[in-house]
Structure 1
Amino acid sequence: MKMALKKGAIYLHYKPHILMVVAQIGYTFMYIITEASFNHGMNPFVYVTYRHFVAALVMLPFAYFLERKTRPKLTLALFLEICVLSLLGVSLTLNMYFTSLNYTSPAVLACMVNTISSLTFIMAIVLRLEVVNIRSSRGIAKVIGSVVSLGGVMTMTLYKGPALKNIAGHGVIHTRGSKTVVQENWFKGSLLAVASCITWSIWYIMQAYSLKRYPAQLSLATWMNFVGAAQSAVFTVIVQHKKAAWTIGFDIDLWSTLYGGVVISGIVTVIQLWCTEAKGPVFVTMFNPVSTILVAVLAYFVLGEKLYVGSILGGVIVIMGLYLLLWGKEKDEGQSKLKEPEDLKTHMSPSDGNKLNEEP
């Protein structure tokens, strides 16, 4: 009995960690599937629009029935807040993000996404969502971990080193040869990726505040998908006039849209919202390096892309930084839990203490 309770306590403690690893695995396959879909000719703007409409339609019945008793009333102020969240997390950010994927590669984009954790960490400190005491080992570990992770990302991005021999041949999925020809497009894609990382970081921070006013993860995710899809549709209609771009067949375009909608914009978004409410936005973004390493490995075997020594070295550095950050956060949470009973005793009056000591 005690063993079962102990295992249950361990699972509850590490549940957010497990969920975030699962989320990053989901992101990993998204990179590969969307890359194949874009190579097939899928328009990134159309993909973002369809993907979030799919997510909203799938999640709507779950949000309506499971949260009908706990869902707060949606006021005009909350709806406007959701519109901003949708702009930052769906329409603006993802359109820039997937357009950059069209110009670069899954491995490069996954590397740049890791800057989100450092940006979110800095914003969280400024807004006092994250406490850092540089006089303690916990605070030092969090700062060093953030810097080390960023250093690993920079290593993966700026240092290539020698390429490993591709034992997978040309890969299962072939990428477009024209992608590596135009350096200007690569630069444009990098700028779009950086811009999307900045807006994404703001989105994660804003979620922490929105969840306090609207603590219904399923409903919030559904609203963001609906509004974000509508915003993206308006933008796409303006920039994309060809009707053929809106037509998808029973092929990789359909599968990538369904996967992105159900798994990423649906399940993974709810996981992230739950973990943001439980652990904060910094915790959620700290796991981005996991998908970076998995994408690099899959791109090597599946897409036939080259794997460089710099990517491996950067990946190791990123994981070291992630471990330091996680260690610092875990110690901070443990310390705050120890302080709670002490604070309770400090604020109790003598009469309150006598009442507690009285026999029932």
Structure 2
Amino acid sequence: MSLGRATLNQVLYFVGLKYSSPTVASALNNTLPAVTFLLAALLKMEPVAGRAGRAKVAGTALCVAGSMLMTFYRGPLVRTLASPVHWPYVQGTMAAEAAAHAGGHAVVLGAVLVIGSNVAWAIWFIIQKNLSKSFACPYTSTALMALIASVQCAAIAGAAERRFSAWELGLDIRLVGALYAGIVASGMVCTVMSWCIQERGPVFVSMFSPLMLIVVAVVGWGILGEKIHVGR
């Protein structure tokens, strides 16, 4: 369980985010309900017959088509007001990333990695639902998952990055990012999701992931100065 949700999901997502952008990565998260529904249908956890089943299949197809459109089609630039936030660190980082990945296959690679993280996430939804039947303690299971995932992520990071300077945390954005990812993204979010899966099932929880696109688009414009195109 920890390998799917906390390790593979986050490692693949963060690497995919590096090669794309926050808006693209969050747009591809719209495939999460589709992947979850397909897995649940294959495992006989969700009905596909009848009017409700056909509606879910149609929604799944529309979800995937929309995610692909938003990822690979930009379209004309939408004129918006300039962001009031001017963060020199972010501006320099965004310019460096754009120059490093210009003209390459970075967007495609980032998309594949983010979709792979969604598959790992969907598998966790299914496992968590089955686990809740025999171990109805979402807070305990989240704590155990985070503990095991810490060891797994440390092993992967140690093999991928051996420079000691890469592990240094000062009073800067790296420390804030690490604390936020650990406390909010892994701790609070996983705990709430585990409880919701136990109460309403995996497909119900995954249906709310598209809301993240709206939040990320606004925050990405406000903090990162991202441009919004018609395709998104």
Task: Assess same fold via TM > 0.5.
Answer: yes
Residue 63 of structure 2 is aligned with which of 128, 149, 167?
149
Q: Which structure features the higher share of helix residues?
A: 1
Structure-2 separation of matches of 1:148 and 1:188: 23
3-state DSSP class of the match of 2:224?
coil
Structure-2 separation of matches of 1:221 and 1:133: 34
Structure-2 separation of matches of 1:92 and 1:143: 27
Does 1:129 find its partner at 2:50? no
Does 1:93 find its partner at 2:14? no
The match for 1:180 is: 98
1:146 aligned partner, one-letter code = T
* Residues 306-334 of structure 1 deviation map (CA, whole Å, 9 limit, x = unaligned): 101111xxxxxxxxxxxxxxxxxxxxxxx
Q: Which has the larger radius of gyration?
A: 1
* Residues 137-185 of structure 1 deviation map (CA, whole Å, 9 limit, x = unaligned): x333322222222232222123222111241258534242132232233
Structure-2 separation of matches of 1:177 and 1:207: 40
- Structure 1 residues 121 and 290, CA, compared in 2 at 3 Å: closer, same or farther? same
Q: Does the CA-based 8 Å contact 2:85-2:223 persist in structure 1?
A: yes
1:106 Cα deviation from its structure 2 partner: 0.4
Does 1:193 find its partner at 2:109? no
2:111 aligned partner, one-letter code = S
The match for 1:140 is: 54
Q: State the number of aligned residues.
A: 225
- Considering Cα pairs closer than 8 Å and 6+ residues apart, tell me whether 1 or 2 has the greater RCO: 2
Q: Does the CA-based 8 Å contact 2:128-2:197 persist in structure 1?
A: yes
Q: Does the CA-based 8 Å contact 1:99-1:189 persist in structure 2?
A: yes
Q: Does the CA-based 8 Å contact 2:94-2:224 persist in structure 1?
A: no
Q: Which runs of 5+ in 2 are unaligned?
A: none
3-state DSSP class of the match of 1:186?
helix
1:265 Cα deviation from its structure 2 partner: 1.1
The match for 1:308 is: 229
1:161 aligned partner, one-letter code = G
3-state DSSP class of the match of 1:309?
coil
Residue 181 of structure 2 is aligned with which of 232, 255, 260?
260
Q: CA RMSD in A?
A: 1.7
Does 1:217 find its partner at 2:138? yes
3-state DSSP class of the match of 1:162?
coil
Aligned 1:38-57 pairs, distance under 5 A:
none
Q: Does the CA-based 8 Å contact 1:166-1:300 persist in structure 2?
A: no
Structure-2 separation of matches of 1:202 and 1:296: 27
Does 1:105 find its partner at 2:21? yes
Q: Does the CA-based 8 Å contact 2:83-2:221 persist in structure 1?
A: no
Q: Which runs of 5+ in 1 are unaligned?
A: 1-84, 312-360
Q: TM-score, normalised by structure 2?
A: 0.90
- Structure 1 residues 151 and 185, CA, compared in 2 at 3 Å: closer, same or farther? closer
1:294 Cα deviation from its structure 2 partner: 1.6
Structure-1 separation of matches of 2:2 and 2:128: 11
Does 1:226 find its partner at 2:160? no
Q: Does the CA-based 8 Å contact 1:88-1:202 persist in structure 2?
A: yes
* Residues 330-360 of structure 1 deviation map (CA, whole Å, 9 limit, x = unaligned): xxxxxxxxxxxxxxxxxxxxxxxxxxxxxxx
Structure-2 separation of matches of 1:284 and 1:129: 14
- Aligned identity (percent) is 34
Does 1:167 find its partner at 2:81? yes
The match for 1:344 is: none
